[in-house]
Each structure stands twice: as C-alpha cells, then as structure tokens.
A = this chain, B = another copy of it.
Amino acid sequence: MSDADEAAVLAANKAFYDAFSTLDIRRMEEVWSREDVVTCVHPGWPALDGWARVMDSWERIFDGAAMMTFTITGAEATVGGGIAWVTCTENLTSVAGGRVMDAQVEATNVFCSRGGQWLLVHHHGSPVLGG
C-alpha cells in the first residue's frame, strides 16, 4: 500500500459523497463499477445486489430528498492488491417533506481498481440509533 493509493481511494470516496450530496444520478453512476456484483445496504434496508437494483435505489432516494448535506468524518482507507475499503461517518442533514433531519450514519465503502480507477463495488450505511 502506498500513500498515493490511499489518497486515490479517499478521493474516490469523496467523489461518491459529492455525487450523493448533489443528488445527481449521472455522477452516482460514474463512481460505481458497472457490474452485477455490486452491492449496497442503505441504512435500515435489506441488502440490494446488482447494478440495476442499486442504481434504482439511488434514484428513489434522490427523488425523495429535496436537499442533502454531508460532513464526512474519520475516513480511513486500507488498500491492498486491487481492493480497498474505507470506513467513515456520514453526518447528514436532509430535507424531505418539509422536515429537516439530522442523522449519523456509519459507512463501509469497498472499492476495486478497474483500469487504473478506483470504483465503488459495495456501500454499507447503517443508522446510529438512539444517539
């Protein structure tokens, strides 16, 4: 693992959250690896697998959210041989149906190197309850 690899993975992680916070499905599609093995667990949801199901879920989330801001804290990347994972905390403010909601989500994001680019293959977010 090099510092450069780690920086590249953290940049890919940031691109994911930038896509998330702009609610832009095209940008979200760009950060994910376009393959059937991708998986995604949204907070409180059962696991989704496959590119189509995962992208459909983001569309539904983006359609339901009027505004979404993130502060990502504690991002740590570990890289080894074409696979990397990041753990971080999503400090999230969203507006939906006229209500402002603050939430904290613990996230695990797994990236694979594809043609020199780190692409997301697995996102797992879980609600911090009772905070």
A-to-B contact residues, CB < 8 Å: 37, 39, 41, 43-47, 74, 76, 78, 80-85, 87, 89, 104, 106, 108, 110, 112, 121-122, 124-131
- Residues of B close to A85: CB separation below 8 A: 83, 85, 110, 122
Are B45 and A128 touching (Cβ within 8 A)?
yes
Are A80 and B128 touching (Cβ within 8 A)?
no
Main secondary structure of the interface of A (DSSP, over half): strand
So how many copies of this chain end up in the complex? 2
Residue of B nearest to A89 (CB): B47
Docked pose: A87 CA to B43 CA in angstroms? 15
Are B82 and A80 touching (Cβ within 8 A)?
yes
Q: Given the interface contacts A80-B82, A81-B82, does A46 sit within 8 Å of B108 by beta carbon?
A: no
Are A126 and B43 touching (Cβ within 8 A)?
yes
